Amino acid sequence: MTPSVPDTLISPPVLLAPLAGITDLPFRSLVSQFGAGRVVSEMIASGEFLTDRPGTREKAELGAGIANTSVQLAGRTPEAMAEAARMVEGMGAQVIDINMGCPAKKVVGGYSGSALLRDLDHACRLIEAVIGAVRVPVTLKTRLGWDDASHNAAELAQRAESLGIAMIVIHGRTRCQFYKGKADWRAIRAIKEAVSISVIANGDIVDTASARTALAQSGADGVMVGRGAQGRPWVLAQIAADLFGTKAPLIPTGMRLVDMVAGHYDAMLSFYGTELGNRVARKHLGWYMDDAATASSLRKSILTAKDPDYVFDALPEALLGTERCAA
């Protein structure tokens, strides 16, 4: 049996969800600086990882050994999942998370992610293989079921717990919903009542109010925040402070905000290199400027700029406004 997840690994019980192309090492590091119980790496496809396709192994290596990081794996065969799990454990991963919730057609078409909700026997073979391959805790992230006619996450959770899964995260939608409609936090309660391990609620949790409601309706032990952290890397720490009594984060304003965004941008340039870093940074810079109501012309010039010096110089005006900068 794999060890349970110690409280220190999910304390506070507010976790950052894995988001492809978003929760890279620079963003996870920034969120962690404000305070988060756990951050989860972008999903690593076990098959690609083992064949060393460019860029795949690097995503796992960079950040695998950071204390509050889980490395998330997805795959379709027990052998590949087990071998990938052994490898990331060897790289220093302290928790391994199995993805059985991704709804993307490419992932589902490869018979992994949420496709496994249609074959719980095979899902359990994958879980058993990973748990048997490593000595670190193994967790599971999934959805309510494939569609509204097959809410089988409670059965999967029970079987996963019996195999040694240490914690389970439930996104309150089915696969067929993708990200449409509203997450059904009440439906998560059935999973919570079916197991004794920690259950984390996920889906549409963007602030303290939604986190409080999700916890009340689901009975879950904690929450996982995804898109709500875009442009607001402090939001997990704020939720934790409001609901679990941890130290409140200093939410940056004024030049502190400019310095934080500039630091995040610089970290992306260092991590990816200037050309790719510029491209990857655009989505994050866009979210920061959305909150700041940046003038559209300036926003466009920053998001199309190829010269990092221009971006650094323009950030004060973009985030604070011309008048406030002049003052």
Q: What is the pLDDT of residue 327?
A: 38
Q: What residue numbers does the annotated binding site cover? A: 72, 141, 171, 226-227
Q: What is the pLDDT of residue 107?
A: 76
Distance of CA 246 to the CA centre of its chain: 21
Residue 155 has pLDDT above 70, yes or no: yes
Q: What is the mean pLDDT of residues 222-233?
A: 96
The tens digit of pLDDT for each residue in 286-307 reads 999 999 999 999 999 999 999 9
Residue 280 has pLDDT above 60, yes or no: yes
Residue 159 has pLDDT above 50, yes or no: yes
Higher-pLDDT residue of 20, 177: 20
Confidence bin at 177 (pLDDT 50/70/90) = confident
Residue 271 has pLDDT above 70, yes or no: yes
Residue 239 has pLDDT above 50, yes or no: yes
Confidence bin at 221 (pLDDT 50/70/90) = very high
Confidence bin at 119 (pLDDT 50/70/90) = very high
Confidence bin at 58 (pLDDT 50/70/90) = low
Q: What is the mean pLDDT of residues 204-230?
A: 97
Q: Of 50-54, 59-63, 112-116, 272-276, where does mean pLDDT reach its minimum? A: 59-63
Q: Exposed, middle or buried, 106 (CB in 10 Å: 0-12/13-18/19+)?
A: exposed
Per-position b or e across 14-26, b if 16+ CB within 10 A of its CB = bbbbbbeebbbbb
Domain residue spans in the chain?
A: 7-244, 254-326
Q: What is the mean pLDDT of residues 118-122?
A: 93
Closest by CA position to 312, among listed 259, 234, 257:
259
Residue 49 has pLDDT above 60, yes or no: yes
Confidence bin at 263 (pLDDT 50/70/90) = very high
> Whole-model pTM?
0.91
Q: What is the pLDDT of residue 50?
A: 83
Q: What is the pLDDT of residue 321?
A: 82
The tens digit of pLDDT for each residue in 81-94 reads 999 999 999 988 99
Q: Is 22 helix (H, G, I), strand (E, B) or coil?
A: coil
Closest by CA position to 186, among listed 172, 167, 168, 166:
172
The tens digit of pLDDT for each residue in 240-262 reads 999 999 999 999 999 999 999 99
Q: What is the pLDDT of residue 51?
A: 83
Q: What is the pLDDT of residue 288?
A: 98
Residue 108 has pLDDT above 70, yes or no: no
Name residue, tokens 């439930």: 170
Q: What is the pLDDT of residue 326?
A: 39
Architecture of domain 7-244 in this structure? Alpha-Beta Barrel (3.20)
Name the residues annotated as catalytic: 102
324: left (phi over 0), alpha (psi -120 to 50) or beta: alpha
Q: Of 63-77, 183-197, 231-245, where does mean pLDDT reach its minimum? A: 63-77
Residue 324 has pLDDT above 80, yes or no: no
d(CA 129, CA 77): 9
Q: What is the pLDDT of residue 7?
A: 56
